[in-house]
Structure 1
Amino acid sequence: MTRTEPVRLLAFLLGLFAAPVAVQAGACQTDRFDGARITWCTVDLAAEDMRLWLNDADAAPFGTFNRIDAALGARGERLGIAMNAGMYHQDRAPVGLYIEDGEEIAPIVTSKGPGNFGMLPNGVFCLQDGRAQVIESRAYAADPPACRFATQSGPMLVIDGALHPRFLPASESTYVRNGVGVRPGGRELVLAISDEPVNFHLFARFFRDHAGTPNALYLDGNVSRLYAPQLDRVDGGRPMGPVLGTVVPAG
């Protein structure tokens, strides 16, 4: 064996151990899943600060990623990655449960209703210290966990590894959609947005089969936006209601 061969062997072995890690926490990428382009980002909650935003200091809805980023900038912070975080009324107030910094702004809604939000089971995305959960809404109402931030939306995409029972593989109802899923243990979550119209069945399978999240929640399909400067992507459009994102130091 030559002097350089042990070094090459060590590099090879390190490469084998590193190979399965396709996406680092906080990183975003675009993949093709079942023929559809989907952009997704992973977040490690043990290492990253994730929050929800609705209103600014004057009690007016932020509405855009850039306004949130500007508000953070005044405090020496900036927006890392973000997306719209649930359905809202015309005045941009949340349709269902919304908690910000431990304060409940809007209550849980457990009744069946029209539209995607009311397609039970729907769910709650709950952020705690260093972990997150996606919980079916009625289960949440029966035993509410302590959430620092939370947003309700619907329908659930994946429920304990099973797709929502009303999703049809051949459905022709397609939209650009976005959602959030949580990996086992609750430390890692996935934010995803389709870059072309897809049906619920395909989008839910992406979360379960590609992103590895046994519980995932649909956020919207009429207003779906992503903020990912690392991809040179800052989606615009009509103003949003709740926004979910990470906070990083400025500079």
Structure 2
Amino acid sequence: MKHALAITAALLVLAGCEIQGGEPVTRTEIGSKSEERVQLRRQASACEVATFEGVPLTHCVADPAKHAIATVLADPEGTLYRSLKTYGAALGEQARVVAFATNAGMFDGEGKPIGYYVEQGERLKELDRSDGQGNFYLKPNGVFFGTGGKWEIRTADSFFANVGARPQFGTQSGPMLVIDGKLHPEFQDDGPSRAIRNGVGVDAEGKAHFVISEAPISFGQLARYFRDELKTPNALYLDGGVSALWDPVIERLDNGASIGPLIVVTKRATASP
């Protein structure tokens, strides 16, 4: 697959320069390390621990000056990865260029995207603006997409009306968490529905913020964290109980229920000053 070739190319440049629904995932830090070593690794990670309204979170930042973003679904033979663990194992030494990865938009029983999905400029699923049941159809839903170092989040209707050129990557999910600085109109401040959840938002500087809760959180709490703490005018819910994160730096690899498409953030060979 073209994405695997792109990672291989990035790895060679670096060397020359010097995973909807399901059971909660298992979160682990692999190996026995001293606290000092763990702290050093955390400082080098693109992710940090945070707390909002008493809920522990992990917050990862993709910076266009330092990172590239891609969506990934299957191996070169077309077999869906279905987990971060399987994807990481397939990369082997190429995993060195991965800053972090997480589950992308929602998916069907086979693990295929149920909404708009683009990988390496190839559209594998069209935009879905129909009505239905479940979180995906809690309108407005939206699309996280980008080309090069420009990343955006738009509602599905805004994407349909305003985006003409096909992006390099794109994934549709729902509901939107924050829309032009306002919370989704169906959210309560702290509603009764609580689960392990994750989402993505893009701030005014163009950085993409990925957040995954380490304990059950309501939609309203997660949305307010993006709006009030991360200052992202638009943010998109990715998924619930299957939410998972791979952070190679601290050797965290969440593994649990099968997931669908992935969002992979890789380190650029050269970063802007």
Q: TM-score range by the shorter chain?
A: 0.7 to 0.9
1:24 deviates by 8.9
SS in 1 for 2:264: strand
Matched-pair contact (CA < 8 Å) for 2:67–2:268 = no
SS in 2 for 1:230: coil
| Paired amino acid for 1:202 | Q
Matched-pair contact (CA < 8 Å) for 1:68–1:79 = no
Determine which of 126, 130, 134 is the counterpart of 2:145. 126
Higher percent of residues as helix: 2
Distance, in Å, in 2 between the alignment partners of 1:25 and 1:115 is 38
1:112 deviates by 2.2
Q: Confirm or deny that 1:170 pairs with 2:190.
A: yes
Q: Cα 1:230–1:189, aligned 2, differ >3 Å: closer, same or farther?
A: same
Matched-pair contact (CA < 8 Å) for 1:24–1:42 = no
- 5 Å-filtered alignment, 1:1-251, equals 27-73=46-92, 77-146=96-165, 147-186=167-206, 188-248=207-267
Distance, in Å, in 2 between the alignment partners of 1:215 and 1:249 is 25
CA displacement, residues 186-239 of structure 1 (integer Å, 9 cap, x when unaligned): 2x1101001100110000001111122111000001310011133332100122
Q: Which is bigger in relative contact order (C-alpha 8 A, separation at least 6)? A: 2
1:143 deviates by 2.6
SS in 2 for 1:231: coil
Tell me which structure has the larger Cα radius of gyration: 1
1:95 deviates by 0.8
Distance, in Å, in 2 between the alignment partners of 1:159 and 1:37 is 24
Distance, in Å, in 2 between the alignment partners of 1:107 and 1:84 is 19
Identity %: 41
Q: Which residue of 2 aligns with 1:14?
A: none
Matched-pair contact (CA < 8 Å) for 1:177–1:220 = yes
CA displacement, residues 87-114 of structure 1 (integer Å, 9 cap, x when unaligned): 1000111010000000100010012211
Aligned length: 227
1:176 deviates by 0.5
Unmatched 5+ stretches in structure 2: 1-41
Distance, in Å, in 1 between the alignment partners of 2:57 and 2:235 is 15
Unmatched 5+ stretches in structure 1: 1-22
1:185 deviates by 4.0
| TM-score, normalised with respect to structure 2 | 0.78
